[in-house]
Amino acid sequence: MKQITKASVITLRMERQGFFSPLEEVALLQLFSLSSPVKTPYWCAPGQPPGIDFRSNFDSQSFFYDLRQERKILKGRYQKGGVHYVLHKDLPLYGCAYRKDPNALSEKELLLLDLLSKEGPMTIHLMKEYTGMLTKEITPALHKLQERFLVFEDQADNEWDRAWYLFETEFPEMDFYCYSKLSAIKEILLRFSQLQVLFTEEMAKSYYQFSAKELKTALAQLVEEKRLLCCQVEWEKQPCYVRPEDLSALPEVSFFPSMLLPLDRNDFLSRSYESQYGKKWMSPGKEVVRYLLIDGEIKGAVLGHFSFSPVELYDVRTDLPEEEMRGRKEEILSALAEIYDPEESPLMYFDGKPLK
């Protein structure tokens, strides 16, 4: 087996994830497809579309907003009920992997499903009038129906009062039996491998939220089928997986060029490492506002507090040696200033020391 170095993996990973040169619309859409299901930004207004930061030189959120209006990307509930988006063409794959049992319906779910079947699309306000149910009863039942892909929430804009439809009337072409759950997970893991180049089971679980049993079974079959190779590298404690064809694609490089980006917590890379780094830099009463991608690796975090008024920035913590941390201080501050106005969201500390 060809020698796998960290620099070669990171270089190919960053290239495939669009960090080296701005992606045009077609390439960004392909990245969206491979990294689905895609969450909205970690802290955002209700109804805000997803975006993919730092990979294009145009406004990706406006781009995906338009695609959402055209129903080319579709809102759904995946991974324990969280809001995510996938391309229309990818819905069968992700639906087969994540769909909850469409037959295990509660009384309230059955009532709402019957109402939409008889009366057609309606808002939650109208559902209240027809059923006498409270919003706090209707909303979770609709979310459960979304997880079963039985209703569709037409999130065409940022308005609160949105119409709900029967899924089968809006998308009669969708087939949620074209994959078994296991075969769908296997295809999704191959997409993950294409973007990550080298990955661990922990990374896949962190991003996709499949069970350990499902992942182990899928990975074992992919290795048996020789669609993935299992290997060990010195910088990872767990076994790693790589596509055979990617071994020859690894570039001959000895180092990764300097790069520093403050990633959203729902970025593809952030979520892939959330289980590993989610609590590493935490401070009492503070939360991770951004992860710091430093030279192709997550090596730090910006701590603070989210708010719809200016976000509070408290401290910056990293794994960098103290001398390098000091040397890159201005680079980090400059990168943060591109996202948060220093006048509105001043950083209070840097590496635990008051920022003067």
The pTM assigned to this predicted structure is: 0.94
Work out the average pLDDT over 304-332. Answer: 94
The whole-number pLDDT of residue 66 equals 94
Tell whether the model's pLDDT for residue 194 goes beyond 70: yes
The whole-number pLDDT of residue 45 equals 79
- What domains appear along the chain, each with residue ranges and CATH number? 107-170 (1.10.10.10), 260-354 (no CATH)
pLDDT (tens digit per residue) in 338-347: 999 999 999 9
- Three-class SS of residue 147? helix
pLDDT band at 191 (very low <50, low <70, confident <90, very high): very high
Torsion angle (degrees, nearest 10) of CA 266, 270, 274, 277: -140
- Three-class SS of residue 245? helix
Work out the average pLDDT over 291-319. Answer: 95
DSSP code per residue over 19-76: -SS---HHHHHHHHHHTPSEEPPSS--TTPPP--TTS-SS-HHHHHHHHHHTTSEEEE
- Residue 343 structure tokens: 């006048």
Tell whether the model's pLDDT for residue 158 goes beyond 70: no
The whole-number pLDDT of residue 60 equals 92
* Gyration radius of the chain over CA positions: 22
- Work out the angle at residue 166's Cα, subtended by the Cα atoms of residues 62 and 128, and round it to the nearest 5 degrees: 90
The whole-number pLDDT of residue 21 equals 92
The owner of tokens 């503070």 is 286
Contact 70, 199 (CB under 8 A): no
Rounded Cα gap, residues 239 and 216, in angstroms: 12
pLDDT band at 148 (very low <50, low <70, confident <90, very high): very high
pLDDT band at 189 (very low <50, low <70, confident <90, very high): very high
Rounded Cα gap, residues 336 and 312, in angstroms: 12
pLDDT (tens digit per residue) in 69-113: 999 999 999 998 899 999 999 999 999 999 999 999 999 999 999
**How is residue 300 annotated by DSSP?**
E
pLDDT (tens digit per residue) in 40-57: 999 987 788 999 999 999
Q: At what angle do helices 212-224 and 181-196 cross, to 10 degrees?
A: 80
Rounded Cα gap, residues 271 and 155, in angstroms: 24
- Work out the angle at residue 148's Cα, subtended by the Cα atoms of residues 50 and 101, and round it to the nearest 5 degrees: 140
The whole-number pLDDT of residue 159 equals 65
Rounded Cα gap, residues 207 and 199, in angstroms: 11
Rounded Cα gap, residues 350 and 335, in angstroms: 14
Phi, psi of 62 (to 5 degrees): -65, -40
The whole-number pLDDT of residue 160 equals 64
- Residue 290 structure tokens: 């951004």
Q: What share of the chain is helix, strand, coil (3-state, %, to 5)?
A: 40, 15, 40
Tell whether the model's pLDDT for residue 356 goes beyond 90: no
Work out the average pLDDT over 27-36. Answer: 98
Percent of the chain with pLDDT over 90: 87
What's the count of helices (H) and strands (E) in the chain, helices before strands?
Answer: 16, 14
Segments of 128-259 assigned E as strands: 151-153, 164-166, 199-200, 229-231, 240-242
Tell whether the model's pLDDT for residue 355 goes beyond 90: no
The whole-number pLDDT of residue 1 equals 60
